[in-house]
Amino acid sequence: MRHTSDTPDSLWKPGLRAIPPGLHFVSTPIGAARDITLRALDVLAGADVLVAEDTRTLKHLMEIHGIALAGRPLIAYHDHSGEGPMQRLLGLLNDGKSLAYASEAGTPLISDPGFELARAAAAAGLPMFAAPGPCAAICALTLSGLPSDRFLFAGFAPSAKTARRSFLADLAGVQATLILYESPKRLGNLLADMVATLGGTRQAVVCRELTKRFEEVLRGRLEDLNAAVAAREIKGEIVVLVDRALPVEATEDSITAALDEALETMSVKDAASFVSQTLGVSRKMAYRIALDRSQG
Ligand code: SAM
């Protein structure tokens, strides 16, 4: 169970408005139970049917806030539940019921189940609502001190090294703050691959255990964070953020130097694609120079 506070919320009183029929996506806390919103509590208290990625977690959260199930169905559902369970939920929505859907923690659909259900409900023209609230990516961006004018949420990087490096190389030239989720076990590998593909000098932030007792925010250049994390044991839930690449005016010398460096660890094709994205130059030209350099 993720919700850490067991204090009943004495401020919450049920809202006066009935919950309209339709699918209600409810965001739940990512650590501190009191981060639930009053509207989320209204929806959980008033919906005809409760649906959850993990029914025990939702039950526990409702208990903390003094919301009774009161004989209402509590159905387990995630994106791999299959067609049968999905049709059952769509049937309930077609019958005019109000359904509250919560994932294990945070905002449904954000590296969490809910997308298939949202897509099916939208395609069927069923009413949908969101009770917005906690999301680790947004919480981390808020604390990071990195530019928030544009950001790209990339979810979890692949766990296999080659796939992860190519995933990161695709993000190298993106002119936005990058936000990734990661497990503590794989954080060291992710940071090492970020240094290799994005360069060691970009500003980055590692947020750990947000809203919880051992919350920690580490800031620094990618190579410094990589060294710091390699030197200690990291536990808990993690968000990694990386500043965008600085736009550089590319010259023939800088393109050649970047390609020579990239060719030390990458194939001609990957090096050309990486440099074309990071320096904003044509892929064809980068490939031609990379080929010359690799043969020369
Ligand atoms: N739906 C959730 C959201 O809105 O943030 C994310 C669910 S995803 C399965 C779980 C991942 O989110 C964790 O592995 C971690 O990367 C990140 N995360 C969730 N809670 C966190 C927290 N309290 N502190 C840091 N990262 C967190």
User: For 178-219, what is each residue's pLDDT tens digit?
Assistant: 999 999 999 999 999 999 999 999 999 999 999 999 999 999
Classify residue 252 by burial, with Cβ atoms within 10 Å: 0-12, 13-18, 19+: exposed
Classify residue 220 by burial, with Cβ atoms within 10 Å: 0-12, 13-18, 19+: middle
Is residue 264's pLDDT more than 50? yes
Find the mean pLDDT for residues 34-39: 96
Give nearest CA residue, ligand 1 atom 23. Answer: 210
Does the beta carbon of 137 lie inside 6 Å of ligand 1?
Answer: yes
Place of tokens 């099916």: 120
pLDDT at 8: 46
Q: Which structure tokens are listed for 152? A: 């790209």
pLDDT at 31: 96
Place of tokens 């049709």: 87
**CA dist list (Å): 257 to 84, 97, 192, 290:** 57, 63, 22, 10
Give nearest CA residue, ligand 1 atom 11. Answer: 181
Q: Work out the pLDDT band at 157, boundaries 50, 70, 90.
A: very high
pTM of the shown model = 0.83
Is residue 127's pLDDT more than 80? yes
Q: Comparing C-alpha atoms, which of 110, 70, 109, 114 is closest to residue 89? A: 114
Does the beta carbon of 105 lie inside 6 Å of ligand 1?
Answer: yes
In the chain, the percentage of residues whose pLDDT exceeds 70 is 94
Indicate the SS3 state at residue 204: strand
Place of tokens 């994205």: 277
